[in-house]
Structures are given as structure tokens and as C-alpha cells.
Amino acid sequence: MLRPRVLPRRQRPRVILTTDHVPHASDAFDHKERHDSAMSERIHVHPLNPQPRQIERAAALLRAGNLGLCPTDAGYALVWRMDARQAEENAVRLRALDTKHPFTVLCTSLTAASRLGRLDDQTFRALRRLCPGPYTFILPAAAELPRRFKQAKRRAVGVRIPDHPVTMALLEAIGEPLLTTTLSLPGHEDLSSHEAETFADRLPWGVGFLLDCGDCEPGPTSVIDCTEAEPSIVRVGYRPLALD
């Protein structure tokens, strides 16, 4: 694992607020205008004991509306605030997704998850047993789900409570759940979403920062559908899973 490097205090975050053109995923790393307009920032952080100053720097970039790359317990993932529409558009374009794609929500606790999705007793017990961890739970959307959410008009929402010190520190610093999607870009199968060095020096255009803690677990997450009477496994991830 790479040894974290603390950046000089004088080096301030560079903010990418607007984009005139976001390339398709196939040419996301080859867009020459990216380095001429604004450089993505690489923020080194300790994987187990993330430095508060570095975490706050990443949180400030998120507050400014940037799209970021953050380590999780299932690979590096794109993250952005719920109301950061430009960041979300960048994520959609980079991953070649449909504009109605339902993104997962990262949150810190069962209490936070219950504000987003409805938890019956059986679902609550499953989340309490498995969380935090590399699991995505599809929950019936709660009535108080924020309208600014893309998922506000949906009947279900994907929720995740990650088991990674850096992710949790960032969520606590920002003080709100974050939208997320995996770093999986069409046409770039050589990209390893859990090995930072494979993409750290060529971040996709439209990504404002990389929170770099070295390598992390590979993923993917397991996906558990809790919208019916009995929870069911939609996808088995890299960590063994049993609902019994």
C-alpha cells in the first residue's frame, strides 16, 4: 500500500463548477481541454486514520458542487452532493448512463438510512447485522425523501452504509448523505476501480478531486432487495452473503 503524502498547506483546492462539454466515457481520459481549464486535485489521505484537514478539503470541494472520487469498501466510487446537478450530469455522461439511472445513497447510520427508505422489523434486523459493509439495500422510498433527490419520484431507493474509515470521515465532515456510482467507464476495461495508481494520474474529465488512500477492496457490493415481504439477493458481491 502506498504511504500517504500530505500536500503543502499553500496548495488550495481547485474547483470545477461548470462544464461546456463533458466527453463520452470512451474519450474521458483523452480530453485535452481538461488540463487547460482546471486540474483535478489529488488529495492523499491515510487509509485507517484519515487526516481531518485532508477530509475537510475534500468536503469543501463537494460543497462547491464538484464530482469526486472516494475510496470505499468496494472500490473507488464517484460521489457528489444531492443538489449538485452539474456533478451528477458529469457522472451520467462519464458512465454513459441513462439520465433516469437510480443512484445509490451513501449514509453513516441506520438512523440516516431510515430517513431515506422505510425499514420494517425484518429489514432493520438485516441492516443491523450487515452494516456497515459492502452491501446495497433497495428500500421502499420514505415519504420524507428530499424532493431534490433524483429518486424523489421513485418508489425505491438504494442505500449503503460503507465500512471504510475514509468514506465515513467524508460523510461525517459533509454532514449529509452523498449520491454515488461505481467507477466503471465503458471503453476503459483496463481501469481498476480499487487500485488508485491505475487512474490517479489520468482522472476523467469532470472529476474535481481524488481522495487517494492507496488500494482498497475490489467490490462489487452485494445488492439486497427489501421492497417485498421477504428480502432477496439481487447480486452477490465480493464478500460472502447469507440472509438467513
Secondary structure (DSSP) of 99-137: TT---EEE-SSHHHHHHHB---HHHHHHHHHH-SSSEEE
Query: For residue 14, what pLDDT band results from cuts at 50, 70 and 90?
Result: very low
pTM here is 0.82
In this predicted structure, the answer to whether residue 32 has a pLDDT above a threshold of 50 is no
Give, as one character, the DSSP assignment of residue 8: P
Query: Which region, left, alpha or beta, applies to residue 162 given φ > 0 means left and ψ of -120 to 50 means alpha?
Result: beta
Phi and psi angles of residue 57, each rounded to the nearest 5 degrees, phi first:
-65, -45
Are the C-beta atoms of 44 and 6 separated by less than 8 Å? yes
Across 96-125, average pLDDT? 92
Phi, psi angles (nearest 5°) of residue 214: 90, -155
The answer to whether 141 and 116 are in contact (CB under 8 A) is yes
Residue with cell 428500500: 139
Structure confidence at residue 22 (pLDDT): 46
157: cell is 431507493
Closest residue by Cα to residue 106 from 198, 28, 168, 193? 168
Question: Which amino acid, residue 214?
Answer: G
Domains defined for the chain, CATH in brackets: 25-235 (3.90.870.10)
Q: How far apart are CA 215 and CA 138, in angstroms?
A: 27
* Terminal C-alpha separation, the chain: 35
Q: What is the DSSP letter of 73?
A: B
- CA 80/CA 177 separation, integer angstroms: 9
Backbone angles phi, psi at 3, to 5 degrees: -80, 125
> What type of residue is 190?
D
pLDDT digits (tens, 9 = 90+) for 165-187: 999 999 999 999 999 998 877 66
| Amino acid at the residue 30 | D
Q: Taking 80 as the threshold, does the pLDDT of residue 147 lie above it?
A: no
Mean pLDDT of the chain: 83
pLDDT in tens, 182-241: 887 766 665 667 888 877 777 777 899 999 999 999 889 999 999 998 899 999 999 888
